[in-house]
């Protein structure tokens, strides 16, 4: 996706520890027109999969996921990061956060993730794949089906992409970062 790659090179900022900041257009301030183009690209790449629901994790996955849901005319559900005190029929697992380096619980109600669901997971980044594994675990607990996983940005030098592809999951990443060494953004 040339538009996205150009924007990352123009406005992305590199931080210590292999972190790419895209705060000015993806996950703090957001560019809805870029997000629409991203969602259309996901819809095209997953057009041959059976999908009836979009799933993500709060918070930064919600914006792309709802745009994909809007374009594909499908409902969107997100796993919540808080303890499910008021959630009915909660399914829960634990995820290790790459950016914050700590564990956190994620939960989703089995009212909204069911054995009838064919799920497309959407998230902003694929790094080590822990958030993705958390979503897969919730899908497994619900008895739902995983149809594919779409990431706006994949950091190829971390282990997430290999891990998911080894599981034979249909993974689509719209921009693949080869390296952030010496704070230089290298895109495939
Ligand atoms: P993973 O679980 O694959 O290690 O990391 C994915 C999650 O961590 C994403 O949901 C994203 O919010 C966050 N993340 C991972 N790497 C980066 C990064 O380089 N920049 C930003 N802004 N978030 C990241």
What is the domain class of 2-187 according to CATH?
alpha beta
Would you say residue 48 has pLDDT above 80? yes
SS3 82: coil
Domain regions of the chain by residue span: 2-187
- The pLDDT tens digits of the residues spanning 56-96 come to 999 999 999 999 999 999 999 999 998 678 899 999 999 99
Ligand 1 atom, smallest distance to 98 CA:
4
- When pLDDT is averaged across residues 40-58 and rounded to a whole number, the result is 98
Would you say residue 55 has pLDDT above 90? yes
106 alpha carbon – ligand 1 mean position (Å): 15
pLDDT at 170: 98
- When pLDDT is averaged across residues 92-111 and rounded to a whole number, the result is 93
User: What is the 3 state secondary structure string of 146-173?
Assistant: EEEEEEEEEECCCCHHHHHHHCCCCEEE
pLDDT at 90: 95
Q: Please, are residues 82 and 76 in contact by the beta-carbon 8 Å criterion?
A: no
Nearest CA to ligand 1 atom 22: 21
For a mutational test of ligand 1's pocket, the pick from 98, 136, 138, 185, i.e. the residue with the most ligand atoms closer than 8 A to its C-beta, is 98
Q: Which residues line ligand 1 (CB under 6 A)?
A: 19-21, 27, 60, 98-99, 123-132, 160
pLDDT at 1: 94
């Amino acid at each position: 996706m040339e538009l996205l790659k150009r924007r990352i090179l123009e406005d992305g900022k590199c931080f210590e520890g292999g972190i790419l900041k895209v705060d000015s257009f993806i996950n703090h301030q957001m560019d809805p027109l870029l997000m629409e183009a991203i969602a259309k690209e996901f819809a095209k790449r997953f057009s041959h999969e059976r999908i009836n629901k979009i799933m993500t994790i709060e918070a930064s996955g919600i914006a792309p996921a709802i745009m994909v849901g809007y374009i594909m005319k499908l409902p969107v559900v997100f796993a919540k990061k808080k303890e499910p005190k008021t959630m009915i029929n909660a399914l829960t697992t634990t995820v290790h956060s790459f950016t914050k380096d700590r564990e956190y619980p994620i939960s989703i109600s089995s009212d909204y993730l069911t054995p009838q669901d064919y799920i497309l997971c959407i998230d902003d980044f694929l790094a080590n794949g822990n958030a993705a594994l958390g979503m897969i675990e919730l899908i497994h607990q619900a008895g739902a089906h995983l149809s594919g996983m779409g990431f706006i940005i994949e950091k190829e030098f971390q282990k997430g992409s290999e891990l998911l592809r080894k599981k034979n999951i249909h993974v689509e990443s719209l921009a693949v970062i080869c390296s952030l060494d010496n704070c230089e953004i290298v895109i495939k």
